[in-house]
Amino acid sequence: MDEKYSSNVLSGGKLGMVEVPDSRLTRYIVLLVISKVLKALGIFESYDILKAVHIVQFIFILKLGSAVILLFFQKPFSSGKVISKRQWIKLIKHAVFSCIISLLGFFGLTLCGPLRTLLLFEHSDVVVIALLGVLFTSSGGGPSKTRGAAFFIIAVICLLLFDNDDLMAKMAEHPEGHHDSALTHFLYTAIAFLGVADHKGGVVLLVASLCLKVGFHTASRKLSVEIGGAKRLYALDNLVSSLVLLPWVVVLSVTTESKVDSWSSLILPFGMIIFSVMILEFYVEAICNTKMETLRCARYGTIALFLSALLLANFWTHPLTDQLRSMSKPPQQVSTEHVLSGGVLVSAIFFIMSSSILSSPSKKGQKGTLVGYSPEGTPLYNFMGDALQHTSQSLPRFIKDSLKQILEEYDSRQIFYFLCLNLAFTFVELFYGVWTNSLGLISDGFHMLFDCSALVLGLFAALMTRWKATRIFSYGYGRVEILSGFINGLFLMVIAFFVFVESVTRLLDPPNIDTDMLTPVSVGGLLVNLVGICAFSHAHSHGSKSCSSNDHGHSHHGHSHSEHSHGGHGHSHGGGGMNANMRGVFLHVLADTLGSVGVIISTILIQQFGWLIADPICSLFIATLIFLSVIPLLKDACEVLLLRTPPEHEKDLNSALEKIEKIEGVLSYRDPHFWRHSASVIAGTIHLQIMSDVVEQRIIQQVTAILKDAGVNNLSVQVEKEAYFQHMSGLSTGFHEVLAMTQQMESMKYLKDGTCIM
Amino acid sequence: PHELHMILLFGSLNLLCTGCLLMWCSSTNSMALTAYTYLTIFDLFSLITCLISSWVTMKKPSQLYSFGFERLEVLAVFASTVLVQLGALFILKERCVYPPTAHIGRLLVGTFVALFFNLLTLLSVRNKPFAYVSEAASSSWLQEHVADLSRSLCGIIPGLSSVLLPRMNPFVLINMAGALSLCITYMLIEINNYNAVDTASAVAIALMTFGTMYPMSVYSGKVLLQTTPSHIIGQLDKLLREVSTLDGVLEVRNEHFWTVGFGSLAGSAHVRIRRDANEQLVLAHVTNRLLPLVSTLTVQIFKDDWTRPLLTGTLTASSSPSGAALTSAEGYPAVSSSSVPPLMMSLGRELDPLTSTPYKPSSPPPEFSFDTPGRNVQPVVLPNPGHNTHRPYGGLGLTYGASPYTGMLNQGLARPSSSLGLGIYLKICGTFSRRCSISRMTTP
């Protein structure tokens, strides 16, 4: 049923993967569910045991116990081929890694409690690989996988933020310095250094070790083939890792005294844990993976595990703990430990959803391009294209190339240097703000970072402008610059609007401002921005050399303030959309400068006279100035975008048109379109009617020359004679077209008559 | 006027609603509600766009704005989508800088008022430009996820397919999703006092706004950048291929095609033709091909080496057996004064060796030539309409233009149809082989 609506053509038919119906697999599914429930039980019990037994001892006992059982079942030494020396070394490495991972996992268990550990750590490899694929590669596999990844992240965030675990109880339970060994102490200090509570640190630790585990499993696949099967590897691995842990355990048990009084009472729980967590789960997974698909196995297993974990968390009454604790600790804390909270419940639901989405087989096949339709009417796709065209570029090389491109041209170089300066200032500010814990500094840093986005936009536009023309961008990318100028103008308008609204609310209710930190910061910002203004206004004079003399009138009023801020840079920035991008960036820097100046002035006023109202008035003034200075930029960009005849060429074009009319043989012209495409391209099209005995090519040459003088450098001239209209009326079939054509021809006839008389 | 009244009415309602909402925003201190209010402000922009588009339809192209004001519509759409995205960016920034604590207050009331007014405005005002853009632009991630979800839902309940499967209106979708997330925020703050939910929901609404508006601003931005719309390219390529196989055409270059407003295409192209081809005839045929797709078209015909007076003019004139060829002679006074009826396309390659422009031997046989019947009538020899010839030019323009063609039709048909048959054969071969290649390509 689901396939019917699937977008993939292949699986829509009979070509897709055929799933075995569930009914035939019921046995295996039941087995899987039982093993998962037992595993959840085992994890809950091991949490209790871990309170009394040291973690390294615990892992050692687990590994040793399972190694003994597996040696009995698998007989890795007596069967199979002989293991070489190199393979033994690999095996030892493998065992060390597996020890580390189980150490991290069980340490996370002590931090987070069994329920959260199960939710975070016990994801199947398939799910995690799908998740990573969505996050880090572009070909995720459709929106449903993206949704699954989003659910996973939301679930982790839920655990981090909304799960108010018994924080205080944990803090009381693990005061610093109470730790049993150097290892756990080190881990605790690492988590404390991160500045998060214990169980949140545990969440982070578990997520990290989950990724490690998946990577480890993937890497060990080759070794398992070399050794001769995953089961043999698992048996040997358990043996070797218990040998690796042995010295440590010996040292530990010699140096520290054990909290456990009777090891004999622990034999049964240990046996149960070894059976359920280490042995049964491994075998059942192996069987199910061969009988069912891995994906389905992962789906059922995860759901069963999480549900049973939720149930156990509700009903588990820590029987062992009470029994063990009664001798060592007062039992009042036990009841409040790792309770089931709303956040955990929500995140469990999200985890279940995400794992079922991520482990569902991806319906979306490859991305094909439609090439046509078969005779039966079914669409035909071509799956070749993308795989061949994707050539990955190494990152350093990419950075080097783009840097080289940026530094090639004047404009982008200026923007880049200024961006670097701005970013450096921002980060200094941010770090200093974090260091001194000053909120004002941090927020100002964020403002600066936000302003940098305009610079990045400008830089990108300046880079794009130089790209080669393509099929879609047939005139080249020059126009991007104008669009980026327009967007920057809109950006400034939005900024001005927000400053305006903010200052109006402050005018009504002037807040008390702490002025201590403001002055040095704003002076620093002012200096940085002044550098920028110098650079960019130089860029303008540089840029405006190329354009002919324009009227500079309209852009003066916006920049009168920059004249008094530093001597006389208030010249115009090229007229009529000349490099709108640089103008936008310049105005942005100017607005920042104005902001710093405003802050300095208002600080002085507040400090000297105590006029709290000075701050909102200053910002009102600044907002108006920004607004006024942006208007000419927006107007020019709009004109270019609306394909207006470029104002600075208007006169030339009119006289050129007059000249064209006077060319010998030209009867008339129609549809003259001239517009500025980008800073360097002025395009035009024109239709000419000429007498029948004139050579078209000569007329085209003359007209092109005349219009080139007027500034048009991308021209198409359509030269029409009377014959053209006759052909057209013959070719066109509709009555209206013919009527229109004949009307055009008629008008041409009259014109021609006029010229004939002349 | 009726529409105008509607727009003004809704605009004033919208202003009222926005004012109320902004007040509630500052009283609840909720960033999520502010983000949702921006959607209301966006509705105001869309009303303004609607106003502009109705103004544009009345306005004629002026001398300065020679393409008319249709682009103003595009610009308005672009500006409003970009402004809303910038607003969303501001929300995200504010989130980073000052995370305030939200109160419930009028949160739910504000949500429902805003939702009601937005939906009312969306559904009752016919907003042509936005309707066009939302259909033409690629679907946003929100739409894709909803489509995916509803597809799997339809797998369970097939009856819903008529409701859920068609493409959702992105504006309705984002309004609903925003209202939903605000409701969740309200519930969580009310029940559990999770104030952080407000932040999360504001970020979510801002991201959804980005997702919805981004494809539209990309689409309208591409129109503003004078790009060839990618969905036209296939059709355009087909036409250009047809043009380049017209008899006499050597190549098409400098082709620029772009949309003026939403929909109408404009363009220009340079067509290089053989020296002996008739410029006006080629021009007419090229224009005739492209005009149905490209409404504002300029075709520049050019020849190489046209200044070099060629002896071939007289030479071919005398040597051509049919006497129907010869076109390039027209331009030269010596020849044109002679009464050789120039005009028709040369019969092609057999009398070619003397012309200066080399014929491309590798080019495929012309898929279209004037000898094959199409929707166009047979090519014929026209009496030369010289500028001084007197013409019976009557009241009905139709007869004049069409009569030579229809009159000569019989003549043209009377010609042996060998070339015609060949043309059809070639066409069939071509299409057949292409189909073969396609199916070969797709079968893995």
Across chain B, mean pLDDT equals 72
Token code pair at residue A625: 């100035």
Give me the pLDDT at residue A334, please. 44
Minimal C-alpha gap between A294 and chain B (Å)? 22
Residue A572 has pLDDT above 60, yes or no: no
pLDDT exceeds 60 at position B427: no
Contact criterion met (CB < 8 Å) for A642 and B287: no
Look over chain A and give the mean of its residue pLDDT values, rounded to a whole number.
77
- Residue B350 has a pLDDT of 38
Question: Per DSSP, what are the bridge partners of residue A645?
Answer: none
In this complex, do A474 and B228 lie within 8 Å of one another by their Cβ atoms? yes
Quick one: pLDDT band at residue A738, thresholds 50, 70, 90?
Answer: low
Residue B425 has pLDDT above 70, yes or no: no
| Chain A residues 116-175 with a CB less than 8 Å from chain B | 142-144, 146-147, 161-162
pLDDT at site A81: 73
Q: Which residues from chain A sit within 8 angstroms of residue B82, using beta carbons?
A: 487, 490
Question: For residue A187, what pLDDT is reported?
Answer: 67
* pLDDT score at B80: 94
Query: Is B13 or A411 the better-scoring residue by pLDDT?
Result: B13
Does residue B426 carry a pLDDT above 60? Answer: no
- A115 vs chain B: nearest CA distance in angstroms? 22
Q: What domains can you pick out in chain A, each with its CATH number?
A: 23-359 (no CATH), 393-540+578-642 (1.20.1510.10), 647-750 (3.30.70.1350)
Dist CA A475 CA B257 (whole Å): 10
Mean pLDDT of A109-138: 83
- The shortest CB-CB distance from A380 to any of B222, B256, B438 is to B438
CB burial of residue B142 (10 Å; 0-12, 13-18, 19+)? buried
Q: Enumerate the residues of chain B whose CB falls inside 8 A of the CB of residue A716.
A: 254, 268-270, 298-300
Condensed to tens digits (0 to 9), the pLDDT of residues A6-54 reads: 444 443 344 444 555 667 778 888 888 899 889 988 888 888 888 878 8
The alpha carbon of residue B6 is apart from the nearest alpha carbon of chain A, in Å, by 28
Nearest CA in chain B to A368: B442
Instruction: Give the mutation candidate from B152, B160, B228, B400 for the A interface (greatest A CB count, under 10 A).
Output: B152
Closest CA of chain A from B113, distance in Å: 23
In the predicted model, what is the mean pLDDT of residues A48-65? 86
**How many Cβ atoms sit within 10 Å of the Cβ of residue B2?**
6
Highest mean pLDDT among A534-548, A712-726, A731-745: A712-726
Q: CA of B397: which chain A residue's CA is closest?
A: A742
- Residue B343 pLDDT greater than 60, yes or no: no
For residue A578, pLDDT beyond 70:
no
Mutation site, B198, B256, B281, interface A, largest A CB count within 10 A: B256
CB contact under 8 Å between A473 and B227, yes or no, is yes
B283 contact residues in A (CB cutoff 8 A): 718-720, 724, 727
Partner-chain contact A498 B90, CB within 8 Å = yes
Those residues with Cβ within 8 angstroms of residue A547's Cβ, 6 or more apart along the chain or in another chain:
A574, A575, A578, A648
Read off the pLDDT band of B165 (50, 70, 90).
confident
pLDDT in the model for residue A749? 55
pLDDT at A204: 83
Domain spans, chain B: 1-224, 232-303
Predicted pLDDT of residue B316:
41
Of the listed ranges A339-348, B124-133, B365-374, the least confidently predicted one is B365-374
Contact A205, A111 (CB under 8 A): yes
Q: Which of A91-95, A641-645, B193-197 has the lowest mean pLDDT?
A: B193-197
Residue type, B214: Y
Residues A121, A209 contacting (CB under 8 angstroms): yes
List CB contacts (< 8 A) between B331 and chain A. 695-697
Whether residue A95 is predicted with pLDDT greater than 50 in this model: the reply is yes
The answer to whether residues A178 and A329 touch, using CB atoms and an 8 Å cutoff, is no
Query: Could you read off the pLDDT of A524-553 as tens digits, one per residue?
Result: 888 888 888 887 776 555 443 333 333 333
Question: Which residues of chain A have a CB within 8 Å of the CB of B72?
Answer: 642
- Residue A319 sits at φ, ψ, to 5 deg, of -65, -40
Hey, are the CB atoms on A443 and B98 less than 8 Å from each other? yes
Q: How far is B436 from chain A (nearest CA, A)?
A: 10
Would you call A474 and B257 a contact, using CB atoms and an 8 Å cutoff?
Answer: yes
Minimum-distance CB partner of A673 among B66, B165, B227: B66
Whether residue A144 and residue B82 make contact (CB cut-off 8 A), yes or no, is: no
> Mutating which of B64, B214, B218 best tests the A interface, going by the most A Cβ atoms within 10 A?
B64
Residues of chain B positioned with their CB less than 8 A from the CB of A494: 83, 86-87, 90
**Predicted local confidence at residue B179, as pLDDT:** 93
How many Å apart are CA A429 and CA A521, to the nearest integer?
8
A755 touches B: beta carbon within 8 Å: no
Q: What is the pLDDT of residue B338?
A: 36
Using CA coordinates, name the residue in chain B closest to A477: B225
> Residue for token digits 């009345």?
B58
Q: Is A704 at the interface with chain B, CB within 8 A?
A: no
State whether A642 and B194 contact (CB < 8 Å): no
Residue A752 confidence (pLDDT) above 90: no
Q: Do A382 and B441 touch (CB under 8 A)?
A: yes
Provide the shortest C-alpha distance from residue B260 to chain A (in Å). 9
* Cα distances (Å, whole numbers) of residue A343 to A161, A210, A752, B194: 8, 21, 86, 11
Which positions in chain B touch A473 (Cβ < 8 Å)? 225, 227
Residues 615-654 of chain A with CB under 8 A from chain B are 638, 641-645, 650
Encode burial over A599-622: b for 16+ CB neighbours within 10 A, e otherwise: bbbbbebbeeeeeeebbbbbbbbb
Query: Is the model's pLDDT at B391 over the cut of 70?
Result: no
Rounded (5°) CA angle B146-A347-B183:
55
pLDDT-wise least confident of A371-385, A644-658, B386-400? B386-400
Q: Decide if B268 contacts B300 (C-beta within 8 A).
A: yes
The alpha carbon of residue B128 is apart from the nearest alpha carbon of chain A, in Å, by: 19
Which band of pLDDT confidence, cut at 50, 70 and 90, is reported for residue A560?
very low
State pLDDT tens for residues A600-622. 888 888 888 877 778 888 888 88
What would the mean pLDDT of A501-509 be, rounded to a whole number?
83
Is A723's CB within 8 Å of B281's CB? yes
pLDDT of res. A561: 36
Judge whether A494 and A590 are in contact, CB under 8 Å: no
Q: Which two tokens stand for residue A612?
A: 């709290």
Quick one: pLDDT band at residue B352, thresholds 50, 70, 90? Answer: very low
Task: Reply yes or no on whether the pLDDT at A216 is more than 50.
Answer: yes
Contacting residues of A for B90, CB less than 8 Å apart: 494, 498
Distance CA A249, CA A254 (A): 8
For A457-485, the pLDDT digits (tens) are: 988 888 888 888 888 888 888 889 999 99
A173: CB partners within 8 A, 6+ apart: A333
The residue of chain B with its CA nearest to that of A381 is B442
User: Residues of B with CB below 8 A from A732's CB?
Assistant: 288
B99: nearest CA partner in chain A: A443
Give me the phi and psi of A717, to 5 degrees please.
-115, 125
With a cut of 60, say whether residue A260 has pLDDT above it. yes
Task: Check whether A79 has a pLDDT greater than 80.
Answer: no
- pLDDT bucket at A138, cuts 50 / 70 / 90: low
At residue B78 the predicted structure's pLDDT band, cuts being 50, 70 and 90, is very high
Could you give the percent of chain A with pLDDT greater than 90?
A: 6
- The confidence band for B83, taking pLDDT boundaries of 50, 70 and 90, is very high
Distance from CA of B298 to the nearest CA of A (A): 6
pLDDT (tens digit per residue) in A265-307: 788 888 888 888 888 888 888 888 888 777 888 888 888 888 8
Fold for B232-303, please state it.
Answer: Alpha-Beta Plaits (3.30.70)
List the single residue in B255, B280, B376 with the smallest CB-CB distance to A724. B280
Provide the H-helix boundaries in A267-330.
267-273, 281-291, 294-315, 319-328
A721 class by beta-carbon count within 10 Å (0-12 exposed, 13-18 middle, 19+ buried)? buried
Cβ atoms of residues A669 and A686 within 8 Å: yes
Q: Are strands A666-676 and B249-259 parallel, antiparallel or unpaired?
A: unpaired
Q: A714 by DSSP, 3-state: which?
A: strand
Interval B181-187 mean pLDDT: 89
> Which chain A residues are Cβ-neighbours of B285 within 8 angstroms?
727, 731
How close B411 gets to chain A, by Cα (Å)?
A: 16
A753 vs B107 pLDDT, higher one: B107
Q: In this model, does residue A373 exceed pLDDT 60?
A: yes
Q: Note the pLDDT of residue A635.
A: 92
> Can you tell me the distance from the alpha carbon of B368 to that of B442, in angstroms, rounded to the nearest whole number?
28
- Report the distance separating Cα B210 and Cα B141, nearest Å: 10
Between A167-181, A242-256, B229-243, the lowest mean confidence (pLDDT) is in A167-181
Structure tokens at A487: 């967007």
Residue B176's pLDDT is 92
User: Which residues in chain B are closer than 8 Å to A730, comparing Cβ atoms?
Assistant: 376-377, 401-402, 404-405
